[in-house]
Structure 1
Amino acid sequence: MNARAGNTIVVWGAGAIGGIIGAYMARAGVDVLLVDADKRHVAAINECGLSITGVDDFTVKIDAVTPDNLAGTFETVLLAVKAHHTGSAAASAARFLSGDGYILSLQNGLNDDAIAAHAGGGRVALSLVNFASDVTAPGVIHYGGRGSLVVGEVDGRKSERLARLCDSLKAFDETVHVTDNVKGYLWGKIGYGGILIATALTNERMADLLADRRWRPHLASVARDIVTIARAAGIEPVGVDGFDAEAFLTGDAAGIDATFEGMAEHYRHSAKERSGVWRDLAVNRRKTEVGPLMEPVISAGRKAGLPVENLKTLVAMIGEIELGTRDFGLKNLERLLPLNY
């Protein structure tokens, strides 16, 4: 068993997101413990250190354990697992929280309710995390491109615990800050991410597809549906990393095209040529997080009486590719209703 002091920051999920952030904090001297279910990944980290390639190249010595070898109680757990593993990971992580401990979601999507079901409502915080990275081998993570990291309490209040955590997270990104509208950032990221999910229906490079005006109306319709549902749910979506949420809400052609041009330019210079969803489908051949990511969005859309068929079609096609009953191809994009703007 690996027992540590309560001020250790536990990163639960040492993959593309958690591993990168944990590595930077550890390199800066923050007391970090990685927890991951992949025994080969854990063994490689303990034997050779965690290696980061790409934007930066370094190897840091950092302790890693599997969940069954963790002991102790901790104030801060950073949860960085795929959305469809949230429930089981949160149930395990909650057992190691101290009396005033909490879990910060470093995940895609709206996972606060799933975490709170195990940890308790006041013991959950959220974040927007948006940068490109992939695990390329046990103990090795490729950092493909910088992006945003913003944290916030579910209810928007400012708290001492997140202020302290920000001090540690600045080792990864000096611009990290606390927001009073973290759900707005998350909905903005889902809008941005919805476009990238749709690109995973093809084998095209993201930069090429985003730059191709033929497919922009189909991609834009996904983002429009997501941000429209957000506003109907009482959340003001925030544009992230060049994604102009307001343009998609209002159908502003210039703003939408500027978003696509900016995204295309970003991915032209990124080592990450295709999305993480595409990588799960085509390389890792494993189930994606698209269904759990979109389920609360679709549910909120139904509750507001808004059309959700487009999003349901996107989720269904990704599911069919997972099952091997649908091929990648541009023809898949034609099934997404185009946005006339």
Structure 2
Amino acid sequence: MQITIIGAGAIGGTVGAFLTQAGHDVTVVDIVREHVEQINQHGLRISGVRGDQHYPLRAVHTDDLAGTLHNVILAVKGHFTRDVVTQVIAPRLAEDGYVVSLQNGLNEDTIADVIGPERTIGAFVHFGADYLDPGHVQLGQDQDIFLGELDGSRTDRVEELQQALSAVMPTHITHEIYSYLWGKLVYGSMAFAVSTVDAPVPEILEDERARQICLAACRETALVGQALGHDLKPIGAFESSQFLPDRDDATSLAALDRFRAEMAASIKQHMGIWRDLRIKKRATEVDVQCGEVVRYAADAGIDVPVNQAIVRTIHEIEDDARDMNWSNLDTLLSAIPRK
């Protein structure tokens, strides 16, 4: 299968390497020239749960991308989605071509707005990976992939893609892809909340302030997803449905504790958001995750003050107006409405 992957970072690079290893004709495209050069000269180094080795992979810089695109995997940061689809993909995409999003957030809607829903495939991906240096990513954990047409139908192209991606991770077809995406938005509310602190996630989730913040933020997001008619699928060990309004505090907090225990046993101790803020000093995807929750909540007439506070706090950290420290938990805690 011929596949073009736009974005060769943690997700795109890993997927591209394993697809190439399985015999597929893969080209990864990235905007970081040093990363492209390292991949072409040495292969992509993937360390982590599957060992440490270099995988042969063909890479090109975005400026050098030529020809017609047919089967496209999009793996750039969510806040670049519209620009990349509009400027890089749309002018080159074949009439019968498609784009599948292996991203965080609700990028499927943005992609469909540019190229049409008939050329857009939804996907849920949650294997833990980090871009460490040019030519090097770390795979922290394996996790199943779910694919689905936006209208829930089962098509030949999704079946072909499912067979290909099964060489990367166990891959399944679903008729309710938005239930997975909203389940991950619930997870995202927790992930952004804990990423306001410069400490390992398991340590943060032992703090009662963090537990109450995550409880409130995840409940807000679960309520919005439920109001839109979506079930909430689990995100690995994170049981998003346990934060629905009909669950009591003990049930929801027990689910949070189970997630904390699993992450404590993982080699991945921080969220990718933490890496964006602490190591890379760059913008996060907060607007296409918690920000989307806020937007959909406003349309549905639902108050989500904790998610709003998370968005503000993350932006302040991005702008160097706030440090990443434990006092941020007090700021977020104050956003929880008093009962």
TM range (shorter): over 0.9
**Cα offset for 1:340?**
9.1
Structure 2 counterpart of 1:30: 24
Q: Is 1:216 aligned to 2:205, yes or no? A: no
Structure 1 counterpart of 2:8: 14
Structure-2 separation of matches of 1:212 and 1:309: 21
Structure 2 counterpart of 1:332: 328
Structure 1 counterpart of 2:235: 240
Structure 2 counterpart of 1:180: 175
Structure 2 counterpart of 1:278: 274
Structure 1 counterpart of 2:294: 298
Q: SS at the partner of 1:215?
A: helix
Q: Relative to structure 2, which stretch is displaced further, 210-219 or 133-142? A: 210-219
Structure 1 counterpart of 2:319: 323
Structure 2 counterpart of 1:4: none
Q: SS at the partner of 1:103?
A: strand
Q: How does 1:30-69 map to 2 (within 5 A)?
A: 30-56=24-50, 57-69=52-64
**Cα offset for 1:258?**
2.8
Q: SS at the partner of 1:186?
A: helix
**Cα offset for 1:214?**
4.4
Q: Relative to structure 2, which stretch is displaced further, 293-302 or 37-46? A: 293-302
Contact 1:112 1:124 in 2 (8 A): yes
Supply the AA of the counterpart residue of 1:259. A
Q: SS at the partner of 1:32?
A: strand
Q: SS at the partner of 2:140?
A: strand
TM-score normalised to structure 2 length: 0.94
Structure-2 separation of matches of 1:104 and 1:301: 26
Q: Is 1:76 aligned to 2:76, yes or no? A: no
Percent identity, please: 36
Q: Deviations over 1:178-205 (max 9, x none)?
A: 1111111011011112111111111121
Q: How does 1:92-171 map to 2 (within 5 A)?
A: 92-171=88-167
Q: SS at the partner of 1:211?
A: coil
Q: Deviations over 1:75-113 (max 9, x none)?
A: 210000111100111111122222210000000000122
Q: SS at the partner of 1:17?
A: helix
Supply the AA of the counterpart residue of 1:314. I
Structure-1 separation of matches of 2:323 and 2:76: 27
Q: 1:197 aligns with which of 175, 192, 204?
A: 192
Supply the AA of the counterpart residue of 2:46. I
Q: SS at the partner of 2:199?
A: coil
Structure 1 counterpart of 2:305: 309
Q: Relative to structure 2, which stretch is displaced further, 8-17 or 210-219? A: 210-219
Supply the AA of the counterpart residue of 1:99. E
Structure-2 separation of matches of 1:140 and 1:290: 25
Structure-2 separation of matches of 1:80 and 1:152: 17
Supply the AA of the counterpart residue of 1:41. H
Aligned length: 334
**Cα offset for 1:123?**
0.5
Structure-2 separation of matches of 1:215 and 1:135: 27
Q: SS at the partner of 1:130?
A: coil
**Cα offset for 1:210?**
2.0
Q: Is 1:207 aligned to 2:202, yes or no? A: yes
Q: CA RMSD in A?
A: 1.7
Structure-2 separation of matches of 1:232 and 1:286: 33
Contact 1:221 1:339 in 2 (8 A): no
Structure 2 counterpart of 1:251: 247
Supply the AA of the counterpart residue of 1:68. D
**Cα offset for 1:278?**
1.1
Structure-2 separation of matches of 1:208 and 1:295: 26
Q: Give the unaligned 5+ runs of structure 2.
A: none
Structure-1 separation of matches of 2:167 and 2:143: 14
Contact 1:135 1:141 in 2 (8 A): yes
Structure-1 separation of matches of 2:208 and 2:331: 17
The runs of 4+ residues in structure 1 deviating greater than 6 Å are: none
Q: Relative to structure 2, which stretch is displaced further, 272-281 or 238-247? A: 238-247
Structure-2 separation of matches of 1:339 and 1:29: 54
Structure-2 separation of matches of 1:340 and 1:164: 51
Supply the AA of the counterpart residue of 1:52. I
Structure-2 separation of matches of 1:311 and 1:40: 36
Contact 1:218 1:339 in 2 (8 A): no
Contact 2:290 2:310 in 1 (8 A): no
**Cα offset for 1:339?**
8.4
Contact 1:8 1:74 in 2 (8 A): no
